Amino acid sequence: AGMEGSGDASRAVADWRLAVWTLCSVLLPVLITAWCSFQRSRRQLLIRDIFRKSKHDWHYTDLFGQPSYCCVCAQHILRGAFCGCCGLRVCERCLKKADQRFLCKEIMMRGTAGAASSMPHHWIRGNVPLCSCCMVCKQQCGTQPKLCDYRCVWCQYTVHDECMMDYLRTEDCTFGEFKDLIIPPYYLSTINQMRKEKRTSFEKVVPYCRKHWMPVMVLANTRSGNNMGEILLAEFKMLLNPIQVFDLSKIAPAKALQLCTWLPNSAVRILVCGGDGTVGWVLDAIDEMKIKGQERHIPQVAVLPLGTGNDLSNTLGWGAGYAGEVPVEQILRNVMEADGIKLDRWKVQVTNKGYYNLRKPKVFTMNNYFSIGPDALMALNFHAHREKTPSLFSSRIINKAVYFFYGTKDCLVQECKDLNKKVELELDGERIELPNLEGIIVLNIGYWGGGCRLWEGMGDEPYPLARHDDGLLEVVGVHGSFHCAQIQVKLANPVRLGQAHTVRLILKSSKMPMQVDGEPWAQGPCTVTITHKTHALMLYHSGEQTDDDDASSLSE
């Protein structure tokens, strides 16, 4: 009995040991994971706190796009923080030291000679751009696998360690290739002092080493199209003064454009990075400047197309879409070389019908086109689904695939048939007899539907070319979604209804989809009146032409 009792006790102890070890084997990984998560979250809070208080434009990345070295400890790093303005790269451990040790680009800086002050180079060591050349010996920089060589954050010149002589450290910076686009820090400080003294002759203040100064402002919508706005913001801040670069998701265009009042009259150029909707938003803000009496500060506008359709940018020669294939340096060169032109802007007034209608008419500003029918229905369906799940519509390819889906669906359903029985159309006061149609499109620009020259169609008939600065609108009809698809691949012509200075469309019955520049809505019986509103000053890039442009120029 004693032996059995001792055996039971030993088995009980063994069972307890097993239970304890099992519990430890379960709890230990959980505790380690919890401790690591706590440390990681604590580290992230510290990093965010440094980011928030810093004068640098810090961003964190899990993987650098090129071989990188910490600017403090000089160790090779795969991940860490980088400054979007001056280009510093640093590991997590050295972030605080780097933030305290290195200065970022100064957007305003007081000089001894005012705006005519010279400025020394601002050198940053290491991580120079690939394929950059030394300004002294003209040999390639950054070829050694270590933290080496220097780059000036303003002029972008690079210099070897051994070529960095004493005179280079104190030499005046000329701001490099883009000196005519950059707003120098000393200039802003001088203008700020002049405003305090209530002096307004800013055009007499010429920055140091400037002859043909045309400062550029970059307004980027980080939510447009393929979500390239964040990358472009950092790249433009590297090349320009950071005060010239604005994120439209954080600051409204009207507020950003107030910088124009600090700059010489009629000298400013604006690069809008976004879709046609973003361009319209900026042009509306420029119209507000006219109302405030700031006509002399009105800038000229260039476009970097990040949206889905991009018909306005295509018309102005800036292409149908940007996906990073052109370096930002070349984009700035294109902005410098672009020619100024005018763009007609139109007032679209929608007045609801009814004896007891007390609502004010809806008023829109049109840059591209107005439509009623199948293409407006596609835009309405697309807009409704994007509002429900915006995360799914972050790619230009996906967006166009959704449009294709709804266009195919409408070919089968034909929700807009017999439009000619539901509407009346007047061009410059003259009523137009409509054939059997499903849609009517009123055009201000040459391109429509993501790159189609709708008015010219197949190009086999002698019609006057559509222009965006002649004060005329082109009005066409389509037989349905399938007809639209045929026109886009040049297998059919539109139903050309005419050109006019004023267009009036009366929707007599039922509810129909309408859109102005891609902004759709469902509209009941109403009267739509389109009249000329104003001109916008735009920039035309003539460097590249599409096949359609070549054909158009030949026909001229």
Token pair for 377: 């229905």
**Strands 76-77 and 68-69, sheet pairing:** antiparallel
| Enclosing H/E stretch for 504 | strand 503-507
Q: Dihedrals φ, ψ of 305, to 5°? A: -75, 115
CATH top-level class of 180-337: alpha beta
Quote the CA–CA distance of 132 and 138 in Å, as a whole number. Answer: 9
pLDDT tens-place values along the chain, 556 residues long:
555 566 677 777 787 888 888 888 888 888 888 888 887 787 778 888 888 889 999 999 889 988 899 999 999 999 999 999 999 999 989 999 999 999 999 888 765 555 556 788 899 999 998 888 998 888 999 888 899 999 999 999 999 988 887 657 667 888 889 999 999 888 888 887 877 777 766 666 666 556 688 999 999 998 876 668 888 999 999 999 999 999 999 999 999 999 998 888 878 999 999 988 899 999 999 999 998 888 888 999 999 998 777 899 999 999 888 888 899 999 999 999 999 999 999 999 999 886 566 678 889 999 999 999 888 888 787 666 666 665 555 555 555 555 555 545 544 456 678 888 899 999 999 999 999 998 999 999 989 887 788 888 777 777 778 889 999 999 999 988 888 888 888 888 899 999 999 999 999 888 899 999 888 899 999 999 999 999 999 999 986 544 444 434 323 3
Residues recorded for the chain: 556
One-letter amino acid identity for 255?
K
Same fold, 46-109 and 118-176: yes
Largest CA distance in the chain: 119
Query: Cα 520 vs. chain centroid, distance in angstroms?
Result: 21
User: Both tokens of residue 549?
Assistant: 């442009």
DSSP secondary structure code for residue 202 in this structure: G
Q: Report the CATH architecture of 46-109.
A: 2-Layer Sandwich (3.30)
The CA distance from 548 to 488, in Å, is 11
Q: Which amino acid is at 545?
A: Q
The CATH T-level fold of domain 118-176 is Wheat Germ Agglutinin (Isolectin 2); domain 1 (3.30.60)
Question: Could you state, in order of their start, the residue ranges of all structural domains in the chain?
Answer: 46-109, 118-176, 180-337, 346-535
| HEC-encoded secondary structure of 210-238 | CCCCCCEEEEECCCCCCCCHHHHHHHHHH
CATH topology of domain 346-535: Tumour Suppressor Smad4 (2.60.200)
SS (H, E, C) 52-110: HHCCCCEEEECCCCCCEECCCCCCEECCEEEECCCCCEECCCCHHHHHHHCCCCCCCCC
